[in-house]
Amino acid sequence: MSKVIHLATAVLVDPVRNKALVVRKHGTAIFMQPGGKIDAGETAIEALRRELREEIGLNITADEAVYLGRFTAPAANEASFTVDSRAFWIETDKPVCAAAEIAEIQWIDPTDALKLSLAPLSKFQLMPLAAERLQLRDVGP
């Protein structure tokens, strides 16, 4: 039986370059969305704001994050675990950097997700969603 890790994750995009941010933790080879575990007593947005500050030095307000929904996938780095993520869309051109447990950050084209070493949640759900949203925004009404 799979164990569940409850997360708050960001689909963080640079609106000028149409790139999405992914992060790689120390000791791992797989990139994933910034964010992390929701602590007891925290809401998803509170956890996301805390994790973004800790991991990439990004301070956001709750109004800057648009709730995308709840997504599940096999965990990338924990065998027999599933992630249950509350995902948020954030557009920012604020600077970010690798901090805390993050070894590396990359800005990627979300349409390249299937070619990259990404966590299942990112590769098959969140990056395709980002590619679609960015394409729709570029096309406009």
Q: Residue 105 forms beta bridges with which residues?
A: 23
* Residue 140 clears pLDDT 80, i.e. is over it: no
Q: What residue spans define the domains of the chain?
A: 3-139
d(CA 55, CA 105): 10
Give pLDDT tens digits for 48-64.
999 999 999 999 999 99
| CATH 3.40.50.700 is right for the domain spanning 3-139 | no
d(CA 109, CA 116): 10
CA-closest candidate to residue 20, choices 138, 124, 128: 128
% of residues, the chain, pLDDT over 70: 95
CA-closest candidate to residue 14, choices 125, 137, 141: 137
pLDDT band at 138 (very low <50, low <70, confident <90, very high): low
% of residues, the chain, pLDDT over 90: 89
CA 89 distance to own-chain centroid: 9
